[in-house]
Structure 1
């Protein structure tokens, strides 16, 4: 499984717009093959920081997601609303059963 975390600190007067863009992107992304989860959150310690957490079945699914034109459009939109370039990190993970 591939886990993606991303974040952007947005301009305070553009927070509502950034949340709408982020939520729409998450909803659309969840319909893509290999997307296990994709959510948009507001940082509890910084109300102007939006955090994205994504789970993808594998790297091929994530690369397909990055190739979708809407994904590029999302990055451009979020960058325009942010005070600095958004950050993204990729992790390869394996679930560890509890018990």
Structure 2
């Protein structure tokens, strides 16, 4: 599995537009093959910060997601509204049982 995270500060003036754009992007992304989950969240400790959490089946699904023209357009629009390109981290992950941590 691939996990992608990103976070960014939201300027108050464009907050509603940014949230609507992010919700639209997540809904579209969840319909793509290989998407396990795709969510935009509000940081409870800093309500002016939004956080993306995505889970993808594999690298091929992520590559296909990044190749979708709407994904590139989303990043351009979000960057213009936020003022900076959001920092993104990508991780390879495998499930771990709590019993195995013992």
Give the Cα separation in 1 of the matches to 2:60 and 2:97. Answer: 24
Higher helix share: 2
Number of aligned residue pairs = 99
Structure 1, unmatched stretches of 5+, are none
Q: What is residue 86 of structure 1 aligned with on the other side?
A: 86
Give the Cα separation in 2 of the matches to 1:84 and 1:46. Answer: 18
Q: Which runs of 4+ in 1 moved over 2 A?
A: none
* TM-score, L = length of structure 1: 0.94
Q: What is residue 11 of structure 1 aligned with on the other side?
A: 11
Give the Cα separation in 2 of the matches to 1:8 and 1:74. Answer: 14
CA root-mean-square deviation? 1.0
State which structure, 1 or 2, has the greater radius of gyration over its C-alpha atoms: 2
Q: Contact conserved, 2:75 with 2:85, CA < 8 A, in 1?
A: no
Structure 2, unmatched stretches of 5+, are none
Q: Contact conserved, 1:9 with 1:83, CA < 8 A, in 2?
A: no
Higher strand share: 1
Give the Cα separation in 2 of the matches to 1:48 and 1:15. Answer: 9
Q: What is residue 26 of structure 1 aligned with on the other side?
A: 26
Q: Contact conserved, 1:9 with 1:84, CA < 8 A, in 2?
A: no
